[in-house]
Amino acid sequence: MAETPSSNLSLWKKRLGTVPDWVWERHELHTLVLADNDLTEVSSRVGQLKQLRMLDLGHNKLEHVPEALGNIEDLRDFLYLHDNRLQSLPSSLERLKKLRYLNISNNAFTGFPEAVCGMSGLIELRASENQLTELPETIGNLLRLREMGLRGNRLTSLPETIGKLTELRNLDLRGNPLTSLPETITTLPRLEKLDLRWVDTDTWSDGGLLDRLEAKGCIVYR
């Protein structure tokens, strides 16, 4: 009996420099790991891998990802783009409506990628250690989001629309220069943990907002 090609391919830490062309011909792949390979670009042929459920491009030297990545509309489990040099994401990525986990931490984003707010299936978002100064109002579109990691950015406030994230359980804001939080955060019915370590909350005049969160059962680290 002929051997069936595996639907999982890991080329982790192979010092590739460039992805071999044969990888883009593996249309049966469900999982593709290209992490830690000193990649500076990814071919638009990645969009041909329509069956991918997980793609790991972390720990490379990417300054952009191709528009064609948005063609993989069944990508649903994980997309790792962390530890690269990304400053933006193509608008086509908003088509990834089924994606549940996205990691864009440790990049060079100064503006929050608007495409992310179109990924309505996201359950977990990691965007730590960038240079984000604000979140867009459209962050409130991520109605299924349960965990959001924003540690080590330059956020001074959050939009009122954070109150729309009614599934949110954990919010990590460590090390941001926040001067306040919106009142709507107290309405989040499932918020279990708010991490404000390395944030100067002593200067806040928030009307006891953090105390009210704790009274509702939310653990506030400060």
Q: What is the pLDDT of residues 131-147, one digit of tens each?
A: 999 999 999 999 999 99
Least Cα distance to 56 among 76, 82, 90 occurs for: 82
| Mean pLDDT of the region 88-98 | 98
DSSP symbol at 151 = T
CATH no., domain 1-120? 3.80.10.10
pLDDT band at 2 (very low <50, low <70, confident <90, very high): very low
For residue 106, give both structure tokens. Answer: 């440790």
Q: What is the pLDDT of residue 19?
A: 98
**What pLDDT, on the 0 to 100 scale, is given for residue 61?**
98
Domain ranges of the chain: 1-120, 132-222
Residue that is written with structure tokens 């440790």 in the block: 106
112, 135 contact by CB (below 8 A): yes
- Residues across the chain: 222
* Residue 1 confidence (pLDDT) above 50: no
Residue 217 gets the label, from left (phi > 0), alpha (psi -120 to 50) or beta, of left
Identical fold for domains 1-120 and 132-222, yes or no, is: yes
Q: Which residues contact 215 (CB under 8 A, 6 or more apart)?
A: none
Query: What is the model's pLDDT at position 6?
Result: 87
pLDDT of residue 214 exceeding 90, the answer is yes
Phi, then psi, of 193 in degrees rounded to 5: -145, 125
CA of residue 84 relative to chain centroid, distance: 13
Residue 203 — very low, low, confident or very high, per pLDDT cuts 50/70/90?
Answer: confident
Asked if residues 188 and 211 have their Cβ atoms less than 8 Å apart, the reply is: no
Q: What is the pLDDT of residue 3?
A: 39
Domain 132-222 grouped into CATH 1.20.58.220? no
pLDDT reading at 189 higher than 90: yes
pLDDT confidence band for 5 (50 / 70 / 90): low
